[in-house]
Structure 1
Amino acid sequence: MRKQRAFLKWAGGKYSLVEHIRRRLPPAEKFVEPFVGAGSIFLNTDYEHYLLADINPDLINLYNLLKEQPENYIFEAKRWFISENNCKEAYLDIRLQFNSTNDIMYRSLAFLYMNRFGFNGLCRYNKKGSFNVPFGSYKKTYFPEAELEFFAEKALKATFICKGYQDTFRGVSKGCVVYCDPPYVPLSITANFTSYVRSGFSLDDQVSLADVAEKAALERDIHVLISNHDTKLTRRLYHRAHLSVVEVKRSISRNGNGRNKVDELLALFRPKKCLRDRLIVEN
């Protein structure tokens, strides 16, 4: 299966981990992803049905619009990717209009534009809910037409919902497999605690997610795979899961210049039957 790139740039995107994650996902009737983000795993797996969730309504509205009106959305989006819009003044004007309108089509088109023309592909809102990523100052910006077309076709198998991980898990039943890519635990909790809490996903959420994943595996007979940084904390959180470590290159500086090797932890919570079979083999 040829690897497919997402049409959105995304912090913490899983394109580089596709093979490692795909290898650990068992067959199932439905693939569920509570933190879909740019959708790299969705695009690079082959399940019959998908349930894809995120708490960002702009992201989910864009996906649903692209699914329902692919030709119209791509045609309109392409008109934004012109040299006249590749300047700070145009970017700030579009960002201002985005923050002052509730029109779903405009917001979805502007969201893609700001993702590609904004700084580092960041997606960030202030406390008032206004998008506040600065202009990126790129010499040339790529319009991801082929990626949009592939996503739109694949989206026919998917249901996109704007819900948090707990609500998404409530809709999970036997026959599903779940992959969770939550906001990562900082490599250094002490150094990054303040900025981490501001991300909206607290340490309590990390604990809760691990608990929800384990219960879903044991009580509903499903596999749940979670990715996160490999830290003492995450190893404690996922100590009942099957753990494996993958080394990846990742930009860890705010300006995106530095790329260092970082260990990522893949934690697979298994159903009771799999745990019993494993014990029998080991004994």
Structure 2
Amino acid sequence: MNTILKWPGSKVRVMTELSVHLPAGNRLVEPFAGSCAVMMNTDYPEYLVADINPDLINMYRQIKEHTRPFIVVAMALFSQNTTEESYYRARKEFNENASMPLLERAAHFLYLNRHGYRGVCRYNLKGEFNIPFGHYAKPYYPLYEIEMFAEKAQRATFICAGYQETLGMVKADDVVYCDPPYHGTFTEYHTGGFNEDDQHSLACYLLGISEHNPVILSNSDTLFTRSIYRAFDITKITVARSVGVAAGKGKCASEIIAKRGPANERLGGISYSAESKTRTERYIEKYNLKHG
């Protein structure tokens, strides 16, 4: 199932590999919403979907709660703004009109995503969306995807929150899936970045949660990520990349799927040893002492 948004790093193309690592549970918790590809390609009874980007979460909420009005407003934007000049006019209004109604802002967000360069979502330090025009012959209006999302979204709760707050809401029978900004790639998707300290912090949170809940994570395949997720079972996959210095047309990159669950359970056929856990806990203690 494709998604509403064009999105670098979307998991649509790797769901075959990823789905085998996602165990059953009552609710899937995703602290990094992205394009909601995992939500749209799984079948959990409930979803908690979060992201720090308020425009992304607002769009998902508007589609869930006001589906038909959103479709009408977004379709009008697509049909009435087809040139490069009109794209920059719409982008300017999106950035400067603080009183724009939430429904209209959500439709603008979809318009900018589908008409901007390769679906990249990026803001400057002022919080302004600054992706250039994409020069597409005929940008796709995702009517079918919007309708399917609106139906699935009735099972979901969407919150604008950082990963710390979101992971603090995990409860029994939840499955956690994280798709953070990848190590070693562009991470300035919003006004703040996601540096190596953030990667370390996320790994620490997930290690603790994995004592009670299944945790699955995607990230770049680097020595750094393999180090901070050394207590996790790691599977390497190869994916196509469309954005980035090391990518380009026809280029591929290696990623990891890291997974870990309660010590007395099995996740994907892997049992996690006490020795492996102790080794990682020592590593995290050293990190915490070093960074205060």
Q: Does 1:269 pair with 2:260?
A: yes
**Partner in structure 2 of residue 223 of structure 1:** 214
SS of match in other structure, 2:265: helix
SS of match in other structure, 1:36: coil
Q: Does 1:166 pair with 2:131?
A: no
**Partner in structure 1 of residue 242 of structure 2:** 251
**Partner in structure 1 of residue 149 of structure 2:** 151
Q: Distance in 2 between matches of 1:122 and 1:199?
A: 16
Q: Distance in 1 between matches of 2:36 and 2:250?
A: 22
**Once the 2 structures are TM-superposed, how far is the Cα of residue 146 of structure 1 from its aligned partner?**
0.2
Cα separation, partners in 2 of 1:12 and 1:235, compared to 1, 3 Å:
same
Structure 1 alignment gaps of length 5 or more: none
Q: Distance in 1 between matches of 2:143 and 2:10?
A: 19
Structure-to-structure mapping, 1:132-151, within 5 angstroms: 132-151=130-149
**Partner in structure 2 of residue 212 of structure 1:** 205
SS of match in other structure, 1:52: strand
Which of 51, 56, 65 is matched with 2:53 structurally? 56
**Partner in structure 2 of residue 123 of structure 1:** 121
**Partner in structure 1 of residue 282 of structure 2:** none
Q: Does 1:236 pair with 2:233?
A: no
Structure-to-structure mapping, 1:57-136, within 5 angstroms: 57-82=54-79, 84-102=80-98, 103-136=101-134
Q: Distance in 1 between matches of 2:11 and 2:192?
A: 19
Q: Distance in 1 between matches of 2:11 and 2:180?
A: 12
Q: Distance in 1 between matches of 2:258 and 2:272?
A: 18
Q: How many residues align?
A: 269
SS of match in other structure, 1:81: helix
**Partner in structure 2 of residue 200 of structure 1:** 193
**Once the 2 structures are TM-superposed, how far is the Cα of residue 262 of structure 1 from its aligned partner?**
1.4
Q: Which amino acid aligns with 2:172?
A: K
**Partner in structure 2 of residue 14 of structure 1:** 11
Q: Distance in 2 between matches of 1:121 and 1:278?
A: 39
TM-score (norm 2): 0.87
Alpha-carbon displacement from aligned partner over 1:102-150 (angstroms, at most 9, x marks no partner) = 3212211110000011111111111100111111111111110000000
Q: Distance in 2 between matches of 1:196 and 1:10?
A: 11
Q: Distance in 1 between matches of 2:3 and 2:104?
A: 21
Given that 2:127 and 2:190 are in contact with CA atoms closer than 8 Å, whether structure 1 keeps it comes out as no
Given that 2:241 and 2:248 are in contact with CA atoms closer than 8 Å, whether structure 1 keeps it comes out as no
Given that 2:8 and 2:242 are in contact with CA atoms closer than 8 Å, whether structure 1 keeps it comes out as no
Cα separation, partners in 2 of 1:279 and 1:109, compared to 1, 3 Å:
closer
Q: Which amino acid aligns with 1:176?
A: D
Q: Distance in 2 between matches of 1:48 and 1:232?
A: 36
**Once the 2 structures are TM-superposed, how far is the Cα of residue 197 of structure 1 from its aligned partner?**
12
| Percent identical residues | 41
Q: Which amino acid aligns with 2:83?
A: C
Structure 2 alignment gaps of length 5 or more: 274-292
Cα separation, partners in 2 of 1:230 and 1:199, compared to 1, 3 Å:
farther
Given that 1:98 and 1:106 are in contact with CA atoms closer than 8 Å, whether structure 2 keeps it comes out as no
SS of match in other structure, 2:230: coil
Structure 1 window deviating more from structure 2 (39-48 vs 94-103): it is 94-103
**Partner in structure 2 of residue 26 of structure 1:** 23
Cα separation, partners in 2 of 1:224 and 1:279, compared to 1, 3 Å:
closer
SS of match in other structure, 2:49: strand
Q: Distance in 2 between matches of 1:181 and 1:262?
A: 16
Q: Distance in 2 between matches of 1:259 and 1:112?
A: 26
Q: Distance in 2 between matches of 1:101 and 1:245?
A: 45
Over the aligned positions, Cα root-mean-square deviation in angstroms equals 2.3
Cα separation, partners in 2 of 1:279 and 1:196, compared to 1, 3 Å:
closer
Q: Distance in 1 between matches of 2:93 and 2:190?
A: 29
